Amino acid sequence: MTDQFYTVTQLADELGLTARAVRFYEVKGLISPGRAGKTRIYTGRDRARLILILRGKRLGFSLQEIKEFLDLYEIDRTQKEQLTALQKAVRSRIALLEDQKIALELTLSELKQVLIETETRLSDRSAKDQLAS
């Protein structure tokens, strides 16, 4: 079985990233490409890890949390620890987002009320100005 290899540019283009972003994840220890001379060589494993990193970011996890999830796989290939930690983190993230949703809905409701009050006052003033003319 042959493994697919990528240059930083190929990997970045395929995943919609910049080469700088790919190298950033390398510096953070999230991926670890091999070398062919001075050229970084990324494997299918690096690609898969980057896909998981991008998904984790979209879901709001920090790079440190993502790194911990990925590192757990290296420790426990059965993925039991990784899945348990992920389950706990996802539940926590859902709770946080639910709280933020409630706060956002309250803020939107209050802003809409302020808008109604403002429009009413402007309308009242406009009517008074027309009567005064």
What is the CA angle 86-91-96, rounded to 5?
125
Could you report the per-residue pLDDT of 43-62, keeping only the tens digit for each? 999 999 999 999 999 999 99
What pLDDT is recorded for position 1? 44
Domain annotation covers residue 33: yes
Q: Where residue 54 sits, what CATH number does that domain have? A: 1.10.1660.10
What pLDDT is recorded for position 4? 87
DSSP tag of 82 = H
- Each residue's pLDDT expressed in tens, for the chain with a length of 133 residues: 457 899 999 999 999 999 999 999 999 999 999 998 888 899 999 999 999 999 999 999 999 999 988 888 777 778 888 889 889 999 999 999 999 999 999 999 999 999 999 999 999 888 888 877 7
Q: Which domain holds residue 35?
A: 1-62
Domain annotation covers residue 130: no
The answer to whether the Cα torsion of 44, 64, 69, 74 is positive or negative is positive
Query: What is the number of structural domains in the chain?
Result: 1
Domain annotation covers residue 88: no
What pLDDT is recorded for position 3? 74
C-alpha–C-alpha distance, residues 82 and 35, integer Å: 29
**How many helices and strands, by DSSP H and E, does the chain display?**
5, 3
What pLDDT is recorded for position 88? 93
The closest of 60, 100, 67, 62 to 82, measured between CA atoms, is 67
Domain annotation covers residue 106: no
User: Would you state the structure tokens that stand for residue 42, as one six-digit string?
Assistant: 């990324």
C-alpha–C-alpha distance, residues 8 and 68, integer Å: 24
